[in-house]
Amino acid sequence: MSNPMKVAVIGLGIGRSHIIEGYLPNADRYELAVLCDLNEERLKSVGDEFGVTRRVTSFDKVLAMPDIDIVDICTPPGSHFELVQQALASGKHVVCEKPLVGSLADIDVLMEVEKTARGRLMPIFQYRYGDGVQKAKRIIDAGLAGKAYVATAETHWVRTPEYYAVPWRGKWATELGGVLMTHAIHLHDMLTFLMGPIGGLFGRVATRVNDIEVEDCVSASLVMENGALATISATLGCPEEISRLRLCFENVIFESNNAPYNPGSDPWKINATNPDTAARIDALLEDWTPVPIRFAGQMRDFHDALVNGTPLPVTTADARQALELVTAFYQSSETRQEVRFPVGRESPKYKSWRPA
């Protein structure tokens, strides 16, 4: 593919994964042109690893580079809101790691900025990419699954005190939240990706595993807009790590693999409850083409959307839906009441999630 888009990656922690998993597999679509990080040792190491000669410690310098098409923001969460606005104001396309921002108020500001920006903004939800979840999506969208009944989503990971030795982690001001924001947000996005919007939530949050400001254990009961019921649990105190999504529909039962950091990929259990549905699913998936997993798939589709002017694979509306769930969790846990969706300006947690 001629004239690949030039990318600057900002923040080389998770940014290195974006390079390895997202941009290198799509080398015909992207040129990794600039690296930016405040840590000069890491900047040199990653630059040498990938042969990138343009290395800067200044975000402003990146924005002033006229040949850069895309800015990929992989900095700590507390910086995202300002950096995304600056990048959009400079006319760049923007990719931003989760969590996009730290409140519904902030994402509503970004959605307004986006309306007049020349560049387009794509949040990261790479767990949507894998053959298992994409097959399930095709089956549901084709109407073969039938009525949705119940679902469960379990994010059971482990994070030790050493993980929180990184200064910005575990704090409201810089991490913006706990297991809801930086860990379980992936599987919760997959839940709504397949089951549709949430109608109401009753949830609880607690800090039980580590001595941190933010939550590391949560549970909730949900009712989806379509009437299905769902339960969510997440913890950062489970050494036997899993991410598991199980969806029970009228005609099909779906269950993800249990890989904690790649639950979207095969093998998924896709069990039809009757022979007719089984035959129709087989016919629907007969021409299946494997989907590039995680960042590789999302970055491929982002490029194609930019080139063709088509809808982005993940949008700020998707990110807002994820942050509505987070907002409802914190609000419900404090008030001990169900929160109904959509969650808007009337929510006491609209501007800030910090405990009252």
Transcribe 239-255 into DSSP letters. EEEEEEEEEEESSEEEE
Question: For 274-319, how does the pLDDT look when each residue is reduced to its tens digit (9 = 90+)?
Answer: 999 999 999 999 999 999 999 999 999 999 999 999 999 999 999 9
DSSP state, residue 71: E
Q: Return the closest-CA partner of residue 177 out of 266, 74, 103, 121.
A: 103
What mean pLDDT is predicted for residues 136-152? 98
Angle between helices 185-195 and 131-141 (to 10 degrees): 30
**What's residue 63's pLDDT?**
98
**What's residue 105's pLDDT?**
97
* 234 has pLDDT over 60: yes
Range 16-29 burial, b when 16+ CB lie within 10 A, else e: bebbebbbebbeeb
* 356 has pLDDT over 90: no
**What's residue 116's pLDDT?**
96
What mean pLDDT is predicted for residues 121-126? 97
Question: For 174-200, how does the pLDDT look when each residue is reduced to its tens digit (9 = 90+)?
Answer: 999 999 999 999 999 999 999 999 999
β pairing state of 148-158 and 54-56? unpaired
Owner of token pair 């969510």: 232
DSSP-derived 3-state class of residue 44: helix
- The alpha helices in the chain, defined as continuous H runs, are 14-17, 40-50, 59-63, 80-89, 104-116, 131-141, 172-175, 179-182, 185-195, 275-284, 294-308, 316-335
Q: Helix, strand, coil % (nearest 5) of the chain? A: 40, 25, 40
**What's residue 263's pLDDT?**
96
DSSP-derived 3-state class of residue 78: helix
**What's residue 306's pLDDT?**
97
* 347 has pLDDT over 60: yes
Q: CA-to-CA distance for 342 and 197, rounded, in angstroms?
A: 9
Q: Return the closest-CA partner of residue 295 out of 97, 133, 135.
A: 97
Question: For 19-74, how does the pLDDT look when each residue is reduced to its tens digit (9 = 90+)?
Answer: 999 999 999 999 999 999 999 999 999 999 999 999 999 999 999 999 999 999 99
Query: Which residues make Cβ contacts (< 8 Å) with residue 245, sequence separation at least 6?
Result: 151, 152, 153, 154, 187, 190, 191, 194, 254, 255, 256, 263
* 266 has pLDDT over 70: yes
Q: CA-to-CA distance for 134 and 297, rounded, in angstroms?
A: 11
What mean pLDDT is predicted for residues 317-346? 97
What mean pLDDT is predicted for residues 126-145? 97
Q: CA-to-CA distance for 97 and 333, rounded, in angstroms?
A: 26
* 1 has pLDDT over 60: no
* 259 has pLDDT over 70: yes
Token pair for residue 25?
């597999």
pTM of the model: 0.94
HEC readout, 150-202: EEEEEEEEECCCCHHHCCCCCCHHHHCCCHHHHCCHHHHHHHHHHHCCEEEEE
**What's residue 3's pLDDT?**
78
**What's residue 300's pLDDT?**
97
**What's residue 2's pLDDT?**
63
